[in-house]
Chain A
Amino acid sequence: MGAFEQLLNGFAVAADPMILFYSLIGVTLGTAVGVLPGIGPALTVALLLPVTYGLDPAGSLIMFAGIYYGGMYGGSTTSILLNTPGESASIVTALEGNKMARAGRGGPALATAAIGSFVAGLIATLLLAFLAPSVVKLALVFGPREYFALMVLAFVTVSAAFGDSARKGLTSLFLGLALALVGIDGLTGQARLSFGVPQLLDGIEVTTLAVAMFAIGEALFVAGQRHRDDSGVLAIKGSIWMTGADWARSWKAWLRGTFIGFPIGAMPAGGADIASFLSYAAERRATKHPEEFGHGAIEGVAGPEAANNAAAAGTLVPLLTLGLPTTATAAIMLAGFQQFGLQPGPLLFVTNASLVWGLIAALLIANVMLVVLNLPLIGLWVRLLTIPTPWLYAGILVFATMGTMGANPSAVELGQLLVFGVMGYLLRLWSYPIAPVVVGMILGPMAEQQLRRALAIAQGDPLTLVQSPVAAVLLGLALLALVVPMILRARGQGEVLAHLAGNED
């Protein structure tokens, strides 16, 4: 069956009223957390994992994906009206978007962001649908060594290729890898790093780690900041509709952003934030109005907002077809699949075809819901921004601990939350990236298993790892992704990379 028929079947699954309801909850929550600074899609999905334990797997996963998409939409609202990004992929949106809002053009800025997100989400989700079956075919020839090589590549691109220091990224990655060792070894049943504490035999929950790092680490960092930026929310003045000139300048930027964002998300090359930076750079180069950049150029909003949505959809390609998460949100979504006993990868397309295609179809529907939520109802979301910071963070922390207690009401679990929260705070304070810790934590044990399987097949000969052409090329790419940025930084050309810091979501 071709992708088209599969997708039609998917719509049959997604049109179920319950599934539509889940996806509506997902996109609504996603928009809300996207709008609220200090809380993003990765944290939200982590908090909801324990809550969805007893619910319908398809519905829950569709809800998570809706949160991811919604977060990308909502983040732009905060960037434009508050000059503080609602989540990390909207940092560049603030550059031009906030200037537009200050000049009384907040409406068109919000509109181009929302419509651009819609266009990009639509095209990128269709690309996902038609690309996924071919990647699945490719993945079927992958053996343990190819998977291991692919994971090594993902490790490097997530940690060392972008950001201001390869050392800091790798340090975060190895912290995650070390934490992942705690508990029982999946292949032999040997307990590792559990120090005789029975609760540690189960390992460290990725949700506990993510909640601690994202919610508590962030709250500590913001609370400790001596100079808090208290610039108020800008009111939306004038019409929210775009003029003909706005449309003419936006549509090319949307398409460019989509075709920059999707491959960046689909290849293990970092997440939505990197895509949005690259798109901004491309718009700056392509524009016919260079004098407007820095003073509110609409292309600078349209391109990056399309790019971050396209990248979010792109991220789902390696996640669904290979089981390979390349962002923190994708890593936690993988944990979500595992919670329901599902392992993303080529087999999922065979054994759970209706779930996968239902998910893809639901995302297309969610995209329509999102543009409705984010354009006519924009006033509602703006009101969220007026919640005073103390109440906002107090509420976030109560929810954070609620999620952890719901998963496992033990003092050991809450203790971990506190310890990792302080660790997340220190990482933030000393500008170490957070995402590699989470990705290392979830991908580490998978990489270990593939490595040991590959070596077992070759009876312990380490050369086997480079003897397959695919694996050799992937490892070669990983080496390049590690070495080239280091040379660039050493030669003083690292500034661009620092701006591309793929950070949280």
Chain B
Amino acid sequence: MTGTPDHDARRPPGAAPSPRRVDRVGLIVAVGLAALSAVLFWDAARIPSTGGYAGIGPADTPRLIGLGLALLAAWAAWDAFKAPAEPAPAQDLPPILWIVGGLGLQLLLFRSAGFSIAGGILFACTAAAFGRRKLWITLPIGIVFALAVFAVFAMLLELSLPAGPLERLVFGV
């Protein structure tokens, strides 16, 4: 699988380098990596240092990786100022929010509503992200689909999936 079928999708031919002098994305990455590095060092500081024979203990690997992340943060910041900014592919926000929202709803509902209803909501939200906005059609399709998945994997293959009112009604579990 691949996210970008061809490299052209990422860098449209003829796309001029961004006129901005500082690459904003590069800076975000640099700050994120620096923060992650700080978390590793902070957590390592609380681990008792018991190197034993090896001379390095459980706190030292996080420090090593934290150091690597800090260097990469500096490198990212350097590139953000020096290298020309790469144009990121054009993206629409609403579809992203549909999918994130669907996953969030599923996360909130899967215990009370069960696998099929929560999964059906995710299904409908994802379909909406790809342009099928008629929820009164996609939601029932999604619920039936998730119920079929539940039947195969939970009933046949005995995978433990959360059951809700619908599963109890249909399968009596």
* Chain B interface SS verdict (over half): helix
B149 near A226: Cβ-Cβ < 8 Å: no
Q: Which of A's residues lie within 8 Å of B, judged by CB?
A: 33, 37-40, 42-43, 50-51, 54, 83-88, 91, 94, 167, 170-171, 174-175, 177-178, 181, 185, 187-188, 190, 192-193, 195, 214, 216-227, 229, 389-391, 393-395, 397-399, 401-402, 405-406, 409, 411, 414-415, 417-418, 421-422, 425, 428-431, 434, 448, 451-453, 455-456, 459-461, 498-499, 503-505
User: What is the distance, in angstroms, from B37's C-beta to the closest C-beta of chain A?
Assistant: 8
A-B contact pairs, 18 of them (CB 8 A): A85-B2, A85-B5, A87-B1, A88-B2, A187-B58, A193-B62, A195-B43, A216-B99, A219-B99, A219-B126, A225-B92, A390-B138, A401-B119, A402-B119, A414-B110, A415-B107, A430-B25, A460-B53
Stretch at the interface among B13-21, B44-52, B165-173: B44-52
A167 near B72: Cβ-Cβ < 8 Å: yes
A181-B61, A398-B145 as given contacts; A174 in contact with B69, CB under 8 Å:
yes
Q: Among the interface residues B4, B9, B36, B160, which one has the most CB atoms of the partner chain A within 10 A?
A: B4
Interchain CA distance A174-B92 in the complex, whole Å: 29
Interchain CA distance A298-B157 in the complex, whole Å: 44
Q: Quick one: closest B residue to A405, CB to CB?
A: B161
A167-B75, A429-B91 as given contacts; A178 in contact with B40, CB under 8 Å:
yes
Interchain CA distance A143-B50 in the complex, whole Å: 23
A221 near B127: Cβ-Cβ < 8 Å: no
Question: Which residue from A220, A394, A409 sits with its C-beta under 8 Å from B123?
Answer: A394
Count of B residues near A, CB < 8 Å? 81
Q: How many A-B residue pairs have CB under 8 A?
A: 233
A39 near B1: Cβ-Cβ < 8 Å: yes
Q: Is B68 an interface residue (CB 8 A)?
A: yes
User: What is the distance, in angstroms, from A404's C-beta to the closest C-beta of chain B?
Assistant: 10
Q: Is B155 an interface residue (CB 8 A)?
A: no
B103 near A505: Cβ-Cβ < 8 Å: no
- B69 / chain A contacts, CB cutoff of 8 Å: 174, 178
A225 near B75: Cβ-Cβ < 8 Å: no
Q: A393-B126, A431-B86 are in contact. List 11 more A-B contacts (CB 8 A).
A: A51-B159, A84-B5, A171-B33, A171-B72, A190-B47, A223-B95, A390-B127, A397-B123, A414-B106, A429-B89, A460-B51
A192-B43, A452-B54 as given contacts; A37 in contact with B1, CB under 8 Å:
yes
Interchain CA distance A275-B172 in the complex, whole Å: 52
B159 near A397: Cβ-Cβ < 8 Å: no
Interchain CA distance A391-B132 in the complex, whole Å: 9
A174-B68, A401-B106, A429-B91 as given contacts; A87 in contact with B2, CB under 8 Å:
yes
A88-B1, A192-B62 as given contacts; A220 in contact with B153, CB under 8 Å:
no
